[in-house]
Structure 1
Amino acid sequence: MDLIGHVRCFVAVAEERHFGRAAERLGIAQPPLSQRIQRLEKELGVRLFERSSRHVTITRSGALLLEEARALLARSEALMACATRIKDGQSGLLRAALPSGLAGEAVAAILGDLHQHHPGLELELHELSTAHQLARLASHDLDVGLIHHPCDVTGLELGPVLRCELGVLLPRTSVLATREEVPLAALTGHSLVVFPRADAPALYDDLLTTCARNGYTPDSVRHGQGDSFVHGLILSVNAVAFTPQDRNTATGSRGSGIVWRPLVGAPLTWRYSVAWPQGRKDTSVTAFADAAPRALRSTAAASADLPPRPLHLRPASEYWL
């Protein structure tokens, strides 16, 4: 039995005190309305109306049930309205992730975009490496994420691939800091500070392979991610690190004694895209998939990867630790 539909008929007859007017209000014929009331009375085990040829009178049992019936209809309407908001991306919970090292301005821009366009959306945001994002997307513990390429995207759908050109962070006292652009080969003799390989193995190998191809083999590779830690290594152990240009690098405020310079020929890039499990793109995922690229374009000088580079992994790294 369509309980909500039958209760709606009961409330209409109770308020109109007339089957004909109630049928007109509901947009149905009178005989089906009478049948629904009879079915509801049978299901509830109580008589709801006293009927005569001219009058319809609600019974005491019907009067006692009327307020409960109205409350049930109100809750039903609230449920449907909530479902509509979730479908339209205006409400609900979205489990999303961003990679470590993303500039604070980009994170703030993504959150601001979602709040502006989807104020009812509850966002559960995590800072996760690409490897952890891929694992959680596969287990459906994550709805959507912003991942680095290259990586294994089996079972995922992807948004547009964006590229952010990398420059190099140097000690201000380095002779290379006087150049407007720095060739990769000129970094020979410097250690490299980079994220741990486990965070994004294919990206890690791709970065070191590209460095080797362009004449830079680090004296040693040190692992770190937090700005303060990375800056400390750069200042103390003759190290460098690669990062996109952002507001801090442009203004020289990344840290005392640290400068950012572009690389000649832009050989290194971070390549991002939003990813989600195949067949699971709903309105809230779409909202995140739209917000993240807008934020990267506006805060990190990201651009479309055109023509797009292949997303397949290298068969083997050309650089070995």
Structure 2
Amino acid sequence: MDLIRHLRCFVAVAEELHFGRAAQRLDMAQPPLSQRIQRLERELGVRLFERSSRQVTITKGGTLLLDEARRLLDQSEALMATARRIQDGHSGLLRAALPPDITGETVAGALAGFQERQSGVELELHELSTAEQLARLASHDLDVGLIRHPSDVSGLELGPVLRHELGVLLPHDAPVARRETVALSALTGYDLVLFPRAQAPAVHDDLLTTCARHGYTPTAVRYGQGPSFTRGLLLSWRAITFSTRDAHHARDPDLTWRPLSGAPLALRHSAAWSRGRGDAAVRAFADTVTDALARTAAPGPDLTSGPLHLRPAAEYWI
């Protein structure tokens, strides 16, 4: 008996509580699925489900075995992911990526933490936008990355989604810079310096939509990434940008950072890897970069009691 295949059937039926839906999820016919469940029950000597014409319910014995079955499936997937990396010639090498907007402190923390957890694995780290990471994950040219949300995460597994407040960075002599907090609607008349849309189209559009919903439509959108280039745009044009609270801003006498009223804008990041390819090295990097991002990001207001709607992973304010 192929234990892993039969356990996969068991978990699918346990989660769907419907043989038809489970068979569709597994891309197989219902009769073979029923036969595999029956054979697994005979091999284990435990009745897993109670069946009737109207419903399927999991037994107490099935419930007790379900977590163990999931654990074995996870271990099997990690084993196969490692085997695929060996077949692809990447044994001992982890290809990972971080986006350009991550601070140097986060990068350093991720590198140090990963070496502590996986000292025998060589880390090949790239600086890639979310769009570039998604493309490379899809082609299996990247093992794990840190992406921004919202984005298309079909076919991916995600770590926790960390949410970090965005404020407004503007010239210190701008009238609104004298306020303790700034409403988005108060930025009317200012240009907006933003990252190029191609880097993360969904994030770009979501940000502009949120601005418009809160009463701010930029006079013009100007594109910049590097801090020096962005600083020049802010000081040369009547322009603002959105950024996290950063100690570097405090040392610039020409710029002022202010929180946005109600914290309507935020960066959302999570580690991501292709479904079924999360071996030990991938998960170690995902855990390490999540810890580093949570530890090095400047904290925003305590809004953990508010509703969080991002799916499919948990989201945390940091």
1:290 aligns with 2:275: no
Name the counterpart of 1:180: 180
Cα distance in 1 for residues equivalent to 2:298 and 2:117: 22
TM-score scaled by structure 1?
Answer: 0.65
Cα distance in 2 for residues equivalent to 1:188 and 1:296: 32
Bigger radius of gyration, 1 or 2?
1
1:222, distance to aligned residue in structure 2 (A)? 0.5
Alpha-carbon contact 1:150-1:311 (below 8 Å) kept: no
**Which of 245, 254, 257 is the aligned partner of 2:254?**
257
Q: Show the 5 A alignment for 1:159-170.
A: 159-170=159-170
1:115 aligns with 2:112: no
Cα distance in 2 for residues equivalent to 1:271 and 1:115: 25
1:143 aligns with 2:143: yes
Name the counterpart of 1:204: 204
Cα distance 1:229–1:287, how it changes in 2: closer, same or farther (>3 A)? same
- Segments of structure 2 that go 5 or more residues without pairing to the other structure are 1-81, 313-318
Cα distance 1:157–1:267, how it changes in 2: closer, same or farther (>3 A)? same
Cα distance 1:169–1:199, how it changes in 2: closer, same or farther (>3 A)? same
Cα distance in 2 for residues equivalent to 1:287 and 1:278: 16
Name the counterpart of 1:268: 265
TM-score scaled by structure 2?
Answer: 0.66
1:156, distance to aligned residue in structure 2 (A)? 0.5
Name the counterpart of 1:228: 228
Q: Give the letter aligned to residue 295 of structure 1.
A: A
SS in 2 for 1:219: coil
Alpha-carbon contact 1:169-1:259 (below 8 Å) kept: yes
Q: Deviations over 1:140-183 (max 9, x none)?
A: 00000000011111110111111011011110111122111111
Q: Show the 5 A alignment for 1:59-138.
A: 92-138=92-138
Q: Deviations over 1:181-228 (max 9, x none)?
A: 111111111100001111111110000000000010100000111100
1:238, distance to aligned residue in structure 2 (A)? 1.2
Name the counterpart of 1:71: none
Cα distance in 2 for residues equivalent to 1:302 and 1:220: 30
Cα distance in 1 for residues equivalent to 2:244 and 2:179: 17
Kindly tell me the number of residue pairs found equivalent between the two proteins: 223
What RMSD in Å do the two structures reach over aligned CA positions?
2.3
1:247, distance to aligned residue in structure 2 (A)? 3.1
Name the counterpart of 2:22: none
- Quote the sequence identity (%): 59
- Segments of structure 1 that go 5 or more residues without pairing to the other structure are 1-82, 313-321
1:246, distance to aligned residue in structure 2 (A)? 3.0
Q: Show the 5 A alignment for 1:33-48.
A: none
